[in-house]
Chain A
Amino acid sequence: MSLTGAAFAVAMGSSALAAAAGAALPRRARRITAGAGTLAAGGAAGVAGVAAMAGRSWGTWLPDVLPLAGVRLALDPLSGVFLAVTGAVAVCAAVYGVGYARPGKEAAGHGPGGLGVDGRVAQAMVPLFVAAMLLVPAAASVSTFLVAWELMALASLLLVAAEHRRRAAVAEAGLWYAVMTHLGLVVVLAGLAAFAAEAHGETFAAMRAASAGLSPAVRGAVFVATFAGFASKAGIVPLHVWLPRAHPEAPSHVSALMSAAMVNLGVYGIVRVGLDLLGGGPAWWWLLVLAAGAVSAVYGILQAAVAADIKRLLAYSTCENMGLVLIGVGACGFLRSSGAGALAALALTAALLHVVNHAGFKTLLFLAAGSVLHATGTRDLDALGGLRSPMPATTALFGVGALMASALPPGNGFVSEWLLLQSLIHALPSGGTLAAVTMPLAVAAVALSAGLAIATFVRAFGVGFLARPRTPAAGRAHESPPSMVTGMAVAAVCCVVLALVPGPVAGGLSRAVAVAVPGPKAVTGPAADAGTLHLAGLPSTMSPLLIVGALLAAVVALAAVLRGAALRRTERLARRRARPWDCGAGPMSARTEYTATSFAEPLQRVFDDVLAPETDVDVTPVAESAYLVDSVTYRARVGDRVEHRLYRPVLAAVAWAGRAARPLANGSVHRYVGYGFYAFTGVLVALAVLR
């Protein structure tokens, strides 16, 4: 067995052991053993993924594991990317989870210390969830893929619902997630089953070989069905509604796993089916993908910019980043259909690199948000603040994550978005009229979402962590246990490495890109020059290291100049000590600070028509006077407009149909069985008569 296969087998074995340990061992041992098993699984999966990316492909067929079809696995470079990302996220989440699930002494007092995540179900499900996420990219037949997909959905559903005894919102989030994920499964199942039936074979190899001979209508239907299903998993607007509910309500290391690893598999599905199995397609497929991505990017970050809940903010940011990834995927397919192979490869490289980068910073951010939740018991940004001195490590790490996420140098998000913009901009001359219309719009969407992302993360970090504590709970915060800080630090180190030396990773993606877009390498990063990205055939290079060096030099120079100026000034004036930011008045209280809501207010005002915020002002006058006010209550809420406009009517119609069908169910058991009997005999009679 090759290194890839051996490492993959180790990953599967250790997650199975960890799941068994999580289900069987007593409370204390369970947490550490399951964490260690998940850690080992993540590490082994990382090795397997990197080996597969390096071209050491591996495949196997286990005919006895599943009846009829057996389990068919294959790791090619494209699978390897997602395997490695999932493995790395699992490593961070496993280390972090050991501390997060510890029933702390604060569990009795304030805060969600115990969190219900140290129960047997939750502890067994984390490794199982990781194993399922590793199986999805490794699957090489429709049946294996769907089984792994469903296993992943069920494990994550149980984890989302882990804390349902603590908060009522968890049950609602679980319900939304269950319905959306299963509807997604149904369309993916329908699409892949139709594809396999038309291709006369359910292995990916057979489908790849047969896809060129299928009729365009079948190919289009398969693509649209699978795209809808995979897009709902990736949290693409308008199929995203489950994501901002389920990700915040899950335990934080599970949020990280879902938001940084699971949603990627939606992208994997689109790339695998659309680009690899179906071998590309007409331009309209990919314009659909691109449009969905652009809408998702802008809408997601807009919602994130006004979200009051820190984990909800991060969840919407996931919608945004997946949207950016889909812009890349869509551009890749579009360019491929118009014959620009090298640019298509560049767009897909950018998309996959953004998957990797997003996984890095989103893991870090969700883990840090969980650390805050662990310490203060609240996720409400308006109730946080002042965490810098009690939680220095968490604050610093969240700061790193926010910088990475805001698409500015020296963040890793910047590197992949730069690549994405390069591919979109250079697509203009080659693509004809359609490209001339769509590509500038896509560039605008990327730029707008990047700008809003900066505002979002400045707000998340500045309001959430800096200044003074806005509530007593925030004031009582304390630093998280070492295991949690370690988990976050590992993610932060990965991000920094990705940000400073993207060359090896971007170069390493070339084999994965070649699976989907056969052709030349798009990005080269010579080993001696790991910090610089050279784009093949385009006059573009970028070196994050040089940018960081220039930034540092600029900051140092600016500081030196300012200090020199200040020194010269103090020579003239007597020096006086004063508190900064007090405007000369006495010490400021927390009530004078910017809150998250007030910080987002200008933005909310600009995008008023899109966000449609709801505000209620209740004025209670004193006795009968119209002018003397006793109290004023102000309530503002920014709902999800897509949900309101698109889902509420559907839900209302379903509820109406349910009420209308009530007389059918009068409570008689015989009647219920009778329905089955009459339907069955009716079908048989129809068969007998019609044949």
Chain B
Amino acid sequence: MNDTLYVQLLDLACGAFLLAGVLVLWRRDLAAIVRLFAVQGAALGVLVAVLGVHDGDTEVIGLAVGIGLLRAVLLPWLLRRALAASGGAAGPAANRETAPLVNVAASLVVAALLALLAYAVTRPVVALDPSPAAHAVPVALTVVLIGFFALVTRRRALSQVVGFLLVDNGITAVAFLTTSGVPLIVEGGVSLDVLLAVLVLQLLTARIRAAFGDTDLDGLRELRD
């Protein structure tokens, strides 16, 4: 792979990665949010694969395949299953993010501001090693911040799970972009953690719905001591 192609592929993957993240804020339909998350997982897999092919590191390529499978196939499948279980129970309205704490238009503006912040903050990191991969670090940090923002402002348990996963996607991307490959054991541990967290959250969502007939987390306010 020559350098131009490498940079273009890298930019394409990063662009898809960022766009999918921003669109998660835009869509209200939970099924669409899950689809976007799957797209982002695939983009992350491609991103890591491109880095691996460029470095000629087979371990990183193997990791890319694993990341792609986990984040583009397995986790979306789990989320879809949770969604299907709720769809039958509470009708189609339960499957929409009807009233986020910050509305969609404002969310998109905030996403833009967060992107600015990410670019401003990561300047020293980029200056440290001005390689094409390091130039993409702000994108990954933006996704972390957007995920965090989704976690704060979305009401449905499922969109919160997606927010959490966006944060994790972003962190993984930062790790791969700034270092020349994360050790297999570390990445394996992180992925296992994420899988476990999603399984727990899926279970929790089902329990919340069984108990309250809804997954609006603000309904839990009365549960404090």
Q: Measuring CB to CB, which residues of chain A are less than 8 angstroms from any residue of chain B? A: 665-670, 673-674, 676-677, 680-681, 684-685, 687-688, 691
A-B CB contacts (within 8 Å), total count: 48
A668 x B218 contact (CB < 8 A): yes
A366 to chain B minimum Cβ distance, whole angstroms, is 39
* Chain B neighbourhood of A688, CB < 8 A: 117, 120-121
A691 x B124 contact (CB < 8 A): yes
Between A and B, 27 residue pairs with Cβ closer than 8 Å are A665-B224, A667-B220, A667-B224, A668-B220, A668-B221, A670-B101, A670-B152, A670-B153, A670-B217, A670-B218, A673-B148, A673-B151, A674-B152, A677-B148, A677-B151, A680-B145, A680-B148, A681-B117, A681-B145, A684-B117, A684-B118, A684-B121, A687-B121, A688-B117, A688-B120, A688-B121, A691-B123
A667 x B151 contact (CB < 8 A): no
* Chain A neighbourhood of B149, CB < 8 A: 677
Query: B221: which of A667, A674, A676 is its contact (CB, 8 Å)?
Result: A667
CA distance A668 to B148 in the complex (A): 16
Say if the beta carbon of B222 comes within 8 Å of chain A. yes
Main secondary structure of the interface of B (DSSP, over half): helix
Say if the beta carbon of B69 comes within 8 Å of chain A. no
**Residue of B with least CB distance to A668:** B221
B124 to chain A minimum Cβ distance, whole angstroms, is 7
* Chain B neighbourhood of A666, CB < 8 A: 221, 224
B156 to chain A minimum Cβ distance, whole angstroms, is 12
Number of chain B residues close to chain A: CB under 8 A:
23
B44 to chain A minimum Cβ distance, whole angstroms, is 21
A669 x B121 contact (CB < 8 A): no
* Chain A neighbourhood of B124, CB < 8 A: 691
**Residue of A with least CB distance to B222:** A667
* Chain B neighbourhood of A674, CB < 8 A: 152
Those of B190-223 within 8 Å (CB) of chain A: 217-218, 220-223
* Chain B neighbourhood of A670, CB < 8 A: 101, 152-153, 155, 217-218
Say if the beta carbon of B114 comes within 8 Å of chain A. yes
CA distance A691 to B220 in the complex (A): 41
A673 x B145 contact (CB < 8 A): no
> Do A669 and B220 form a contact, CB below 8 Å, given A676-B148, A681-B145?
yes
B144 to chain A minimum Cβ distance, whole angstroms, is 9
B117 x A685 contact (CB < 8 A): yes
* Chain A neighbourhood of B223, CB < 8 A: 667
CA distance A205 to B100 in the complex (A): 58
B114 x A681 contact (CB < 8 A): yes
**Residue of A with least CB distance to B183:** A67
Most buried by A among B123, B160, B221, B222: B221
Query: B217: which of A669, A681, A684 is its contact (CB, 8 Å)?
Result: A669
* Chain A neighbourhood of B221, CB < 8 A: 666-668
**Residue of B with least CB distance to A678:** B152
CA distance A80 to B42 in the complex (A): 57
